[in-house]
Amino acid sequence: MELGILTLLPPIVIIVVAMTTKKTTSSLLIGVLLCCLLKYGIHFLHPFIDLIYRVGTSEDTIWIIAFTAFFGCFIQLISVSGGQRAFLHVMEKWATSPRKTIVLSWVAGLVVFFDDFTSVVIRGMMSKLYDKHKIPRAMLAYITDATASPLCILIPFGTWAVFYQSLFSGYTEVTSLGPVMSTYIKAIPFMFYGWASLIISLLAALNVISPLGAMKKAYKRAKDSGELFGKESEALNAKDGETDKPMEQKMLVKGLICFLVPVILLIVLALVTMDVLFSVIVTLGVMIFLYLLLRAASWKKMMEASMQGVVSMTSMSVIVFMAYMLKEAITDIGLPEYVISLVEPIMGPSVLPLITFLACVVLTFTTGSNWGGTVGITTIVIPLAQVLGANMPLVLAAIVSGAAFGAHVCFYTDVTVFTSTITKIDNQEHAITQFPYGIIGMLVSASAFLVCGFVM
């Protein structure tokens, strides 16, 4: 059955419910149930259960749940060893003011440039520095998210580039231009959302752009009451301990070893293998051996910390599971095909980059699928770009930029949820406070694609 414009109803309902209730999981569940109702009518229950099985046995679902669980262990082991505390003590030498603290977290994203998830983890450990300078936790979450996926797309050998080069290599229209990596590199200057997000977040860090929308309210709350996050985030920070006591030199050195060795090993392994799950598992094995050797933590403490790490990621796993269910449900009712059918008739060589970018923005934001949401558009626009004589690197950049917008701004996509989990802020609070900045970046990018479409 063709649902047409009704396919837009579930994402609209999700956004309205989420904004009204401030609850991400329940809004996603309502969206999934609505999709099943639209497709199957009153006989929706069995298809809904089948959807649970389908998503639960999916390779992507298993990967993300395993990944988040192991990363939870990684973070807690660094904490119990004293590594995080030592890292914060060293960072305090540079983070001497609110502005320097925010800029430091922005710069840290440039260091861990190859993978968005790893980048988020490193910055998430700076939450205590933000708290010390009375900076709303929402700002840390925004700076972290804005320099994760948007930065990663600009690195030709990062995880995002590897995926999209693999995707584009399946099209002779792209491979005929030369090596796929060379073509991807040519597209990097036109990945406008990546550049826009980096620049806007830097201007926000320097306070050139004043806090906007809900972020402005968060700053006012911090100034008036000293509350650095909303009531929904209190439970996430209930067990935070004090880390501002001076450390002895010997303990500081040991703590830095416990921090730097795992982090550097993780980065090197991920760069070499391009497999962050493999990298974090190997790193965990090395961490356990190293911490026992240094007597930084006992076996019992490490095992307890590991379980705490897994538990700390439960909320994220549930949200991501529901988001994956929504992605499948929305695909089942034909939303991607409907969006494509709307934009296909108006595509021409000059407006193709803009239409491609906007279509990818809509699909990634409504489905919560960063990479998967752009696959359908890719099958249409790459052959069309060659037929129309459009600039191919510019069109490819539009695809990747649209996906990066979804990864950054969609409130139930995996990167956004992971960021809110690591920075210990309610996911809805994070999504709402960063939304205006993402919209500005999207509008700037759309304008750039429009101009370049006509002049190139």
DSSP-derived secondary structure for 386-442: HHHT--HHHHHHHHHHHHHHHHHH-TTSHHHHHHHHHTT--HHHHHHHHHHHHHHHH
Q: What is the pLDDT of residue 146?
A: 92
Q: Are 321 and 61 in contact (CB under 8 A)?
A: yes
pLDDT of residue 165: 83
Phi, psi (rounded to 5 degrees) for 127: -60, -35
Structure tokens at 164: 């999209």
H or E element that contains 187: helix 180-187
pLDDT number for residue 93: 81
Q: How far apart are CA 441 and CA 150, in angstroms?
A: 10
pLDDT for position 444? 96
Closest listed residue to residue 223, CA positions, set 126, 142, 139, 105 = 139
Question: Which helix (H) or strand (E) covers residue 197, if one does?
Answer: helix 192-205
C-alpha 296/C-alpha 255 separation (Å) is 8
> Distance (Å, rounded) from C-alpha 137 to C-alpha 219?
10
Residues with Cβ < 8 Å from 85, sequence gap 6 or more? 79, 243, 247, 255
- Which segments in the chain show pLDDT lower than 50? 242-243
State the number of CA atoms in the 13 A half-sphere of 221 facing the CB.
15
Contact 392, 385 (CB under 8 A): yes
Q: Which residues of 397-423 are buried (b: 16+ CB within 10 A; e: fewer)?
A: bbbbbbbbbbbbbbbbbbbbbbbbbbb
List the one residue out of 319, 324, 342 whose CA is nearest residue 7.
342
The pTM of the full predicted model, rounded to 2 decimals, is 0.79
Residue 156 burial (CB count, 10 A): 15
Alpha-carbon gap, residue 444 to 202, rounded angstroms: 15
Cα separation, 373 vs 327, whole angstroms: 8
Query: Among 374, 398, 373, which Cα is nearest to 456's?
Result: 398
**CA–CA separation, 137 vs 240, rounded Å?**
14
How many Å apart are CA 165 and CA 182, to the nearest integer?
10
Determine the pLDDT at residue 240. Answer: 57
Cβ–Cβ < 8 Å for 192, 444: yes
Pick from 35, 74, 20: nearest CA to 366: 35
